[in-house]
Amino acid sequence: MKLLLCAIAGYLLGSISVSILVAKYIFHDDLRQQGSGNAGATNAARVYGLGAGVLTFAGDFAKSTLAMLLGRGLGGVMGLAVGGAACLLGHCFPVDFKFKGGKAVSAGAAVGLMIDWRLFVILVAVFALMALLSKRASVCSMACAVVLAAGTPLFTKEPMLIALAVFTGLLVLVMHAAKSRRSISVPAKSKRRPGFGSKPGRFFLFCFVPIRRGGRRCLPKIEASLRTSAHTGVAIP
């Protein structure tokens, strides 16, 4: 019974798609119709700016951590593994958003931290190294998935934690393979960053648009250009 509660709680927490909520309530948009079409931190950062990406990653990481902590409190190590796996499934297939979610990268990163903080540090280092070498988020994520699955036995001999790590790694790889096949191509007129006329939009624009040639004095001109593109449907180079 306790394991069932762990699974239900984990899935419901995982179904909270932070990227979709950020896009909907801050940018008044559907992230699944922008960029790569993936409801994840990387696509959020690509479409709406660094602030949206960081917020999405933090939210996904937090919900996964909470699901595993609740699971451990209810059912020990077994509950942690069940809650973590259910959360990842909820993240990839959220019931509230027609089962169209992310690739379990941000939520999966929390698994590494819960297993061993040293493993998490290694994952961060691998991601950074692959980012320098490949400059592709998908390659970085898949490399981390392999390291998580293969490296966990070096830090723990607990079968359930090893199983959770392997499940996480395989899920990340499968989701990347599946979504790469149906990645959408967004028309030029849809590539604008929506919602920058609102106050939250001004905040993100103010904080995260690269500041060059005049610093923040460029902000009014940038906003004017974005408003013009919104009416004309022409993307800003």
User: Which are the contacts of 145, defined by CB distance < 8 A and separation ≥ 6?
Assistant: 108, 168, 169, 170, 172, 173
Same domain, 147 and 95: yes
Instruction: Indicate if the pLDDT at residue 183 is higher than 60.
Output: no
User: What pLDDT does residue 138 have?
Assistant: 87
Domain count, the chain: 2
223 confidence band (pLDDT: 50, 70, 90): low
Same domain, 35 and 57: yes
Residues above pLDDT 90, as percent of the chain: 56
Does 62 fall in a domain?
yes
Q: Helix 199-208 crosses helix 50-92 at what angle (to 10 degrees)? A: 110
User: What pLDDT does residue 8 have?
Assistant: 95
Does 165 fall in a domain?
yes
pTM: 0.73
**Over the chain, what is the mean pLDDT?**
80
pLDDT in tens, 37-77: 888 898 899 899 999 999 999 999 999 999 999 999 999 99
